[in-house]
Each structure stands twice: as structure tokens, then as C-alpha cells.
Amino acid sequence: MEIHKIEAGTFQCDGGAIFGVVPKRVWQKRYPADRDNFCKMAMRCLYIAVGDKRIIIETGAGDKQLQYLKYYNFQDVLPLDKALLAFGTACEDITDVILTHLHFDHCGGCTHNATDGTIRMRFPNAAHWVGKTQWDNFLNPNIRESDSYFVENMAIVEQSGQLRLIESDRFLCPEIELRIFDGHTVGQLVPYITLPNQTLVYVGDVIPMSANIPLAWISAYDTHPIRSMEEKQRLLDEAIEKAQMLFFGHDAYTECCTVVSTNGKYRIGETFDFDTVITNSVCRYVRKDERKRKR
């Protein structure tokens, strides 16, 4: 398997929106904010080549609505066609696009403005995987989420017949399982990627940043807060039990981490750069952990 991260740009969100009811005095010790209380957020995607599949997980916000969304102060937005060139791949080669959910900062890069003014698919030959309940929510959004959904991000994907809706957990290929979590929004897809000696979990907005690991530290954007906490707990319990590695799409400072819990409180175990995870150091970490368990 070949696997690369793609930094598709950054934007800013209000810290109060990101950490919900948690007071700033508490969260600012775990995540920095500027004078206006804005926090820097990454849009970190993955490219995976395995077997005959060429897979993109998440597409970032793209560049269609940057002016309309200028409040978010998007920076360094990297079109995915340029990003893929670095790996010797073209957008036409992509077979599968996995979208955790359809808020603009996750699916906007699926489509782009062509020079003739029309909106085109960025990955014209790819199946685009979305949770069925997330798709239904996109078509009939509630009053909270309607501002985050843009019809033009997905309309031509649906018209192309390349939208694939998932109603239950399933494997995309032997190395990647797509699981459904109802955290943050309904029907979010969480890819579980099997690496040698390690499972990498692309946690999406179930846990947008490592600072969101404590159960109550959920975003004010979450539509069903209690459900969000329950779903996060389900993900974290398995991550601890199986020593899985979490991969964060939005954390501008921490790419990956393990999780521990003490007396029912969840916190970061160890943090890692993505590149370190892909090298042997994490294999050593797993062996060290196994030794502990055997004792």
C-alpha cells in the first residue's frame, strides 16, 4: 500500500464553536486561538494506492466558494489535481472518493470551476462514497446544518451516476473498512485503514482535533450532542482496546495520536507525525504496548 497525506489548506473557526460548552479558560490550554478567538483548522486528506484502487479520503473545501466563505479565512488552498501530481497520479486515475460527510470543508474539492465557467467533477472516473443518511440530510437539511451544505458541491456527482450510498458498515477493499458513526452529523463515514501492525482511523468530524478527545469537548455545530458523545465514546473505546492510531483531518498541530483512558476519562496517549506512523517507529510502539499487556 502507498499512502500519503495531503494538506489541502487551512481555515479558521471560532474556538467557542469548536469546543461548545467547554470554557475558554480550559480549552485554550489545549488548543491555541488568536486575539479574535479564532482557531486554525487543517483540511488534511489522504491518498491511498492499494491493488487496483486509487483512493482519496476527503477533498477539503476546494476553491468554488472561497469568496462567499471569506469569514473562514481560507489559506494555502491546494487543488487536489496539483497535490496528486506529486505522487505521479492524475485525478482521472482516482477510482474512489470517500467523503466522511458533506459539509463544505469536506466535499467542496470534489468539484471545481472549469475555465468555461461550468462546474466539473474533479475525479470524473471515481465512485464517490457517502453515508445514505448523510445524503438524505444533505437533500433535506435541518436549520442548523443548511448553511454548511452547498448543492453545487455534489449535484453533478449525483447526476453522473457515480454517487455510492452506504447504509451499513462495509469494506471498500480488504485494507479499508468504512464504518458509519452519527457523531457531529448523521451518517458520517469513518475509514479504518489497515497498515502493517497498525490500524489508522480517519476520525473525520467525529473527533475533529486531538483536543476534542474528552467526551464533553464536542463542537457547538454538532446537531445531536448526546449522540455525538456516545458515538465518540464508541470509537474511542475500540481505539484503546485495539491500540488504534487516530488520524485528524482538522487538527493544525497534531496529525495522529493514540488514546488512553483513566477512570473513565479519555485523553491523548502519544502524538505522532503522520510520516512517523508510516515508518517503523509505530511498529515499535505497538510491540512495547504488547509487552506491557503480557506482563
**Quick one: 68 or 171, whose CB is closer to Zn ion?**
68
For the bound state, the minimum distance from the C-beta of residue 154 to Zn ion, rounded and expressed in Å, comes to 16
Q: Minimum distance between the CB of residue 13 and Zn ion, rounded to whole angstroms?
A: 9
Stretch that binds Zn ion, among 59-67, 103-111, 219-227, 238-246 (CB under 5 A): 103-111
Indicate whether 205 belongs to the interface with Zn ion (CB under 5 A): yes
250 in Cβ contact with 41 (< 8 Å): yes
From 28-36, 82-90, 99-107, 188-196, span contacting Zn ion (CB under 5 A): 99-107
**Closest approach of Zn ion to the CB of residue 43, in Å:** 8
d(CA 215, CA 140): 29
The one-letter amino acid code at 158 reads E
* Number of residues engaging Zn ion in binding (CB under 5 A): 2
Q: How far is the CB of 147 from Zn ion (least distance, A)?
A: 13
Pick between residue 71 and residue 171 the one whose CB is nearest to Zn ion. Answer: 71
Per-residue contact string for residues 156-185; x = within reach of Zn ion by CB under 5 A: ------------------------------
Interacting span for Zn ion (CB under 5 A) from 20-28, 97-105, 270-278, 280-288: 97-105
Nearer to Zn ion, 185 or 198 (CB): 185
Q: How far is the CB of 145 from Zn ion (least distance, A)?
A: 12
Q: Are 91 and 81 in contact (CB under 8 A)?
A: yes
**Which residue's CB is nearer to Zn ion, number 45 or number 278?**
45
User: CB-wise, 148 or 271, nearer to Zn ion?
Assistant: 148
Q: Which of 175/231 has CB closer to Zn ion? A: 231
What separation, in Å, do the N-terminal and C-terminal C-alpha atoms of the chain show?
33
Per CB under 5 A, the list member of 105, 175, 222, 251 interacting with Zn ion is 105
Q: For the CB of residue 8, give the shortest distance to Zn ion in the complex, in Å.
A: 12
- What is the nearest approach in angstroms of Zn ion to the Cβ of residue 175? 25
3-state secondary structure the chain: CEEEEEEEEEEEEEHHHHHCCCCHHHHCCCCCCCCCCEEEEEEEEEEEEECCEEEEECCCCCCCCCCCCHHHCCECCCCHHHHHHCCCCCHHHCCEEECCCCCHHHHHHHEEECCCCCEEECCCCCEEEEEHHHHHHHHCCCCCCHHHCCHHHHHHHHHCCCEEEECCCEEEECCEEEEEECCCCCCEEEEEEEECCEEEEECHHHCCCHHHCCCCCCCCCCCCHHHHHHHHHHHHHHHHHCCCEEECCCECCCCEEEEEEECCEEEEEEEECHHHHHCHHHHHHHHHHHHHHHC
Considering the complex, state which of residue 43 and residue 91 has its C-beta at the smaller distance from Zn ion: 43
Q: What does the alpha-carbon distance between residue 24 and residue 38 come to, in Å, rounded to a whole number? A: 12
| Min separation Cβ 205 and Zn ion, Å | 5
Q: For residues 145 and 205, which CB has a smaller minimum distance to Zn ion in the complex?
A: 205
Q: Which residues bind Zn ion (CB under 5 A)?
A: 105, 205
